[in-house]
Structure 1
Amino acid sequence: MKLTDAHFQTFIDQGFVVVEDFYPEEKRAAIAAAVRRTLPAWEAIKDDPPDPPLLKDDFPYADQFFNQLIVDWDIIKFVQRILSTEDIHFRYAHNWARYPDPSGIEPKLHIDNGNNSLLPANADNRYGQISTWYFPETVPADQAPMRIIPAPHRMDLDKSQYLTVPAGTIMIFNTHIWHSATLFTGKAGQRYSVTRIYGRADHYWEGVRSYTNRGRDEHLCTFIGTLSAREREIFRFPPAGHEYYTAETLAALEEQYPGWNARGEYNL
């Protein structure tokens, strides 16, 4: 789905926007099936559930399907508009599965800043990273729907909105607004989410988790080798034409990221 001016205005007004049917049904179903391949459904683990009741998979993914899903230009262009720059960096991605939680402990309301930036939060959208949560399956009220408070209301719990949403819904939000999961009170099922986070390239004080230390990771190397020069910039690589690129470094890059110059974009 194309993100519209109306979606943008909603984001500006409340710090987040919820969009149903974000992908065509065929793609939604493919995402749901791919998540289930790596994060089992409740029926498969109910006799030996995880403690705490949460399983995770994160970037760089062994399943290249999820690495490729990060390069979503509809989302990236929306983030560029919000953050007032063409120069966007991917920050982090993860898939989660939440399961029935017998603890009775309600998750804490928080903002994604203490673990996302060296700077305290402020009211300027440019200083909040943009987090996207996609729910490939229906989220009912008893399966830990996210709670989110529109930005003008800060921490006013009476203004909470709960993401009990149909399958295929995405929520895009500024990491400076208050939110949390809720308790998974149901006795069965799971709540899947696919999260991708982006920020301004020039905000070097921001970031959720580093991946510059993963340059030899086989899954990352395979993924980077498939991308265009412009797409690689989103993952912190210098643009084509940068002085770093020489015959020697291009040979080394081809060895590390097979397919590096398959499109001929780095020709000297």
Structure 2
Amino acid sequence: MDLESAALDWRADGFVILPGFIPAEELTAAVSELDLLFPSADGFHDGTDPRRARFIGDEFAGIDTFPFASTEISLLAVNHRILALAQALLDDSDVHIYTAEAWAKYTGACDYDQDLHRDYLNHTLLVPSTAPGCQQLEMFVFLSDVPEELGPPHLLSRAHTADIPAVPNWFLRPGQHSAWRFNDDSGSPQMYGAEVSGAGPAGTVIAFESGTFHRGTQLTASRGARYSMHLGFRPSGLSWGQRVGWAARSFEREWGEFVHRASPRQLQAFGFPPPGHSYWTAQTLAGMALRYPELDLTPWSASASAPRGS
């Protein structure tokens, strides 16, 4: 699917599923380093990987946050195809990444079956908007094949949800009860009957709005494991869409290794000013050379501002 068609589907349904969007050859380096983050399927199910216990009992325990122990996986989070897709869907040439997580799930580790929900409560200070320039974009990126038995996300088209108010946010599966104001415990059979599976091969990207209803599903495959990334993007000027502050970990070794290998466009997605910006002066370039000694500063120094008074 071309990006223009993807954007049309995203605007109509609130999501678009792009099977194999990232070619196998662009996944190879990242997939080869998955063991730096997570146990293999055999390591988990045979109990030979000492990290196994971490994943038991909590569906979110399998999440690692950016920057990752694998520089290749960090670079994949801002792969050129992913950035192009984000720009096309948000209709903005300057998009920023505001969250990046790698996620491992294993059959039997815990209950991964979720209720239909929207992510906006921990992705924005406000509520979702469909106004141009005010939308936020999330992506699931499959690092392994995710057939139905390996728990793909299920999503619900805006055609079924456009009139649902911002609260409640979770629509519980039948048989559950809750008095919390963010939960609807009516069973919602029409919603669950209309959900669409996001199953697909490695390299599949599922792009969806922060206001799109979706849910995780159970892993049922024998000795199963699935690996994916969860990314969030926003227009650079959309200040209310936030989840993490990148500076909080920007002195760690993994961050430095990522920066040293990233392109100017990839770094711009994290908030680096682009070449030509007034930030780039002889003073800041000298400081950056000390902070990131292996970063090629040529793209920024070529257009650096002249010192005042020169």
Query: Which string of whole-angstrom CA distances, capped at 9 and with x for unpartnered residues, describes residues 53-112 of structure 1?
Result: 542222111211022213323322232232232121111211111112365573222111
Range 88-97 or range 215-224, more displaced: 215-224
Q: Which of 244, 269, 287 matches 1:252?
A: 287
User: In the alignment, which residue of structure 2 is the partner of 1:16?
Assistant: 15
User: In the alignment, which residue of structure 2 is the partner of 1:160?
Assistant: 195
Q: Distance in 2 between matches of 1:31 and 1:58?
A: 15
Q: Which of 45, 51, 76 matches 1:69?
A: 76
Matched, 1:91 2:98: yes
Give yes or no for contact 1:85–1:200 (8 Å, CA) kept in 2. Answer: yes
Q: Distance in 1 between matches of 2:133 and 2:299?
A: 34
Q: How does 1:79-158 map to 2 (within 5 A)?
A: 79-101=86-108, 106-124=113-131, 126-154=133-161, 156-158=191-193
| Structure 1, unaligned runs of 5 or more | none
Q: Which of 226, 233, 243 matches 1:198?
A: 233
Query: Which string of whole-angstrom CA distances, capped at 9 and with x for unpartnered residues, describes residues 147-167 of structure 1?
Result: 111122127221101223233
Give yes or no for contact 2:285–2:297 (8 Å, CA) kept in 1. Answer: no
Q: Distance in 1 between matches of 2:237 and 2:248?
A: 19
Which residue identity is paired with 2:98?
R
Q: Distance in 2 between matches of 1:141 and 1:222?
A: 36
Q: Distance in 2 between matches of 1:30 and 1:261?
A: 22
State the TM-score, normalizing by the size of structure 1.
0.88
Which residue identity is paired with 2:279?
Y
Q: Distance in 2 between matches of 1:254 and 1:161?
A: 49
Q: CA deviation at 1:125?
A: 6.0
Query: Which string of whole-angstrom CA distances, capped at 9 and with x for unpartnered residues, describes residues 201-231 of structure 1?
Result: 0011111221122221222123223344444
Range 79-88 or range 176-185, more displaced: 79-88
Q: Which of 256, 273, 286 matches 1:238?
A: 273
Give yes or no for contact 2:29–2:72 (8 Å, CA) kept in 1. Answer: no
Matched, 1:183 2:218: yes
Aligned residues, how many?
A: 267
- Superposed CA RMSD in Å reads 2.4
- The alignment-based identity, stated in percent, is 25
State the TM-score, normalizing by the size of structure 2.
0.77
User: In the alignment, which residue of structure 1 is the partner of 2:301?
Assistant: 266
Larger radius of gyration: 2
Which residue identity is paired with 2:89?
I
Distance 1:126 1:177, change over 3 A: farther
Q: Distance in 1 between matches of 2:119 and 2:265?
A: 28
Q: Distance in 2 between matches of 1:248 and 1:264?
A: 16
Q: Distance in 1 between matches of 2:112 and 2:24?
A: 35
Q: Distance in 1 between matches of 2:219 and 2:139?
A: 21
Q: Distance in 2 between matches of 1:224 and 1:103?
A: 35
Q: Which 4+ stretches in 1 moved above 4 angstroms? A: 102-105
